[in-house]
Amino acid sequence: MIQQNCVFRKPWGLAFMAEPSEVAGLRRVMRLHLRYWGLHHLVDAAQTCVTELVANVIAHVGPGTPTELALSMNGTYLRIEVQDPDLRALPTLLDAAADAESGRGMKLVDAVAHSWGVLLKAERKVVWCELATGLRFPGGHVTDDRVDRTEALLRLYRGAGEATRANSQLGKTAAVAMVADLLRWACAHGYDPDEVLDSAQGSFEAEELTC
């Protein structure tokens, strides 16, 4: 039986001061976190949203504003939130031209996100957007025949009926055991295990599937 919660994606947040110099770091953190979550295909869209939402805070609330970036799952959608203390400066979807120097921020977010909006709380404003992940269930992984085949093999290593998440310690131990056995198989058939491992790593990186 396929586990319905095989990837654990814990809500995450980061407080920072809204400064232009912070944007590159936020984009990098977003990329690393999404790859850790197995959502590498959303990196570009998520980085675009973070860049534009933070740029809005800098432009309309002011540089140095205490801000927070939050990342979570809302069902099968990836939810990105940028929170700041100003309840007046609300984001607006402007009909800006493609070559305009300003006013394109929320238009870009609107283009890549499934939905977006604003929540006004007692002492802060939350601007959020959600990206469609393509997952079949909240704790699932990206649909890929190769991943599905590997899940089936890993269940043999975990043990029949073992209810574990793919990113749990037991799941990692099973994956390591399976890779080790594949290298033993290569050695038994006269192949160089190091060469096989290097070739597999090269193929993996060429497809930009690093986590």
For residue 150, pLDDT beyond 50: yes
Q: Cα–Cα distance between 167 and 179 in angstroms, integer?
A: 16
Q: What is the pLDDT of residues 54-101, one digit of tens each?
A: 999 999 999 999 999 999 999 999 999 999 999 988 887 766 555 444
Residues of the chain with CATH 3.30.565.10: 12-132
Q: What is the pLDDT of residues 90-147, one digit of tens each?
A: 887 766 555 444 457 788 999 999 999 999 999 999 999 999 999 988 888 777 677 7
Mean of pLDDT values over 13-29: 97
What is the structure's pLDDT at 91? 84
What is the structure's pLDDT at 149? 77
Contact 190, 184 (CB under 8 A): no
Exposed / middle / buried, residue 133 (Cβ in 10 Å: 0-12, 13-18, 19+): buried
For residue 3, pLDDT beyond 50: no
Q: What is the pLDDT of residues 170-199, one digit of tens each?
A: 677 777 888 888 888 887 777 888 898 888
**Higher pLDDT residue, 35 or 64?**
64
Contact 166, 7 (CB under 8 A): yes
Topology annotation, domain 12-132: Heat Shock Protein 90 (3.30.565)
What is the structure's pLDDT at 94? 66
